[in-house]
Structure 1
Amino acid sequence: MKVIVTGSNGLVGSALVRQCMANDGISHVFALSRKRLDEAVAKSPKVTVILHDDFSTYPQELLDKVKGAEGCLWAIGGRATQFPDIDTYRKVQVDYTITAANAFRETLVPLLPEGSHFRFVFCSGKLAEWDQTKTLHFMADTRRVKGQVEQRLCQVADADAAKRFVVYCARPSRILPANAGLAARVFGKLYGAIGVDQLAKALIRVLLEGYKERIIENGTLLTL
């Protein structure tokens, strides 16, 4: 499978690229990135790095470069507190994601062989909330915005009459970097933290095999 990966310089995105390179089920990675990737990754014959400055638009020239892609691993986003304000966070988390989903559904899906599907796997977060009016007592902005992305992605999938654009929303708890120390790993077990490479492998498995549900909770990710 040829796959598009976003957020390739981030914690999750970089792990996704590494694990895709190591997975025999992935034939090629189109890494969309604002910045250049590590030389070892960029020089891999299995990876094409596509520098893309504006994730609010997908010109035909860019879409031509990712022709043949059968799925996307979306890892742009994070927590609201990592952004200067809620409007910026919503733009990056909601607008960028939905713009890409629509572009891929409209442009890439029709190019796939008859009967095949395009799987869009979104890295969301634990306790994402679809009800935008619900009172939340912690991480409210993050949970509401991630819930909004999930809901709108599902709407994009539902709008595809042929049901060839398929969406999965993964909800990891805290994500541990590959070099996390013993204390972080032990403490992380108390709230179901998941290692970044384990998460990447789980997302790739969903990409390759699909899953019975659209929303994939943290407990399930730990078992995939």
Structure 2
Amino acid sequence: MHVILTGATGLVGGAALHHCLASPKVTHGQLSILSRRQFTLPSGDNFDTKKAKIIVHTDYESYPDDVTKLLKGAESCIWAQGISQTEVKKDQYIRITYDYPLAAAKAFSSLSETGKFNFIYISGEGADPTERTFTLFGKIKGRAEAALLALPSTPGFGALRVFNVRPGFVDPSGTTLHRPRSIGMGILERTVVPLARALMPSQVSPTGVLSKVLVDLATGDGDPLPEGVGIEAGGRTIRSSAVRILGRL
């Protein structure tokens, strides 16, 4: 299956990249990575880097013909691009967290030749589609979730099969392939994540488990998941507890 990936140089996107390179579900030459810059693909005995191509793209609100031609035939997208609300101004955070994925989902909906396109949005625990939360993160992530789930019933976007995935504390332990994006993130990973791992494990999302779930959703049939623990919005929203269950943790 042809998968589009964004955010491949980040923690969650990087984990998804590693899993895609190792997974037989993502076939040769069928991993399109949208990135603002070129970067070196990870190497490893289980990684098939020949299946990946990096497409340098800087305007995530616009997808001209020269870009969509390269993506033609793709059947899914793992949207792992994102940034902390503490690292940018409010208007930029809204643009990255809400405007970018909405623009991408609309542009990608017609790429597949099968009539279905899976769009996997990386949200987070605390996202609130009602926007009643006090946090900017919760409001805007929730706003994006709601807007994405509404798209398939909008004329012209019926091919979309949307899943909102809400990781908890993302745990990179066990991998040597990640470097924290900032000093603050490094401190968080060394202090808060181990504490959460001990006190509330259901709210911790190990990168290996999370990436498996993301790739499984991207390469699946797009049908809603059965209702169960941590599965909400008619089988379209997957919370941290469900990520652990689906990842067999």
| Gap change, CA 1:182 and 1:142, over 3 Å in 2 | closer
Aligned position for 2:140: 145
* Correspondence 1:12 to 2:47: no
Q: Give the deviation of 1:200 after TM superposition.
A: 0.8
**Correspondent of 2:217 among 196, 200, 206:** 206
Aligned position for 2:121: 122
The CA RMSD over aligned residues, in Å, is 2.3
| Gap change, CA 1:16 and 1:173, over 3 Å in 2 | same
Q: Give the deviation of 1:37 after TM superposition.
A: 2.1
Aligned position for 1:62: 67
Give the aligned residue type for 2:91: D
Give the aligned residue type for 1:208: T
* Correspondence 1:53 to 2:69: no
User: Where in structure 2 are there 5+ consecutive unaligned residues?
Assistant: 176-188, 226-234
Give the aligned residue type for 1:95: D
**Correspondent of 1:215 among 237, 244, 248:** 237
Tell me, in whole angstroms, the C-alpha distance in 2 between the residues paired with 1:156 and 1:86. 24
Q: Give the deviation of 1:40 after TM superposition.
A: 4.2
**Deviation per CA, 1:150-188, whole angstroms, max 9, x where unpaired?**
011112122157842110000110101245789766423
Tell me, in whole angstroms, the C-alpha distance in 1 between the residues paired with 2:138 and 2:40. 32
Q: Give the deviation of 1:79 after TM superposition.
A: 2.8
Query: 5 Å matches for 1:83-94?
Result: 83=88, 85-94=89-98
User: Where in structure 1 are there 5+ consecutive unaligned residues?
Assistant: none
Aligned position for 2:170: 175
Q: 8 Å contact 1:125–1:171 — kept in the other structure? A: yes
Q: TM-score normalised to the size of structure 1?
A: 0.87
- Which stretch shows the higher mean deviation, 143-152 or 36-45? 36-45
| Gap change, CA 1:39 and 1:78, over 3 Å in 2 | closer
Aligned position for 2:106: 102
**SS of the residue 1:81 aligns to:** coil
Tell me, in whole angstroms, the C-alpha distance in 1 between the residues paired with 2:155 and 2:174. 41
Tell me, in whole angstroms, the C-alpha distance in 2 between the residues paired with 1:88 and 1:182. 28
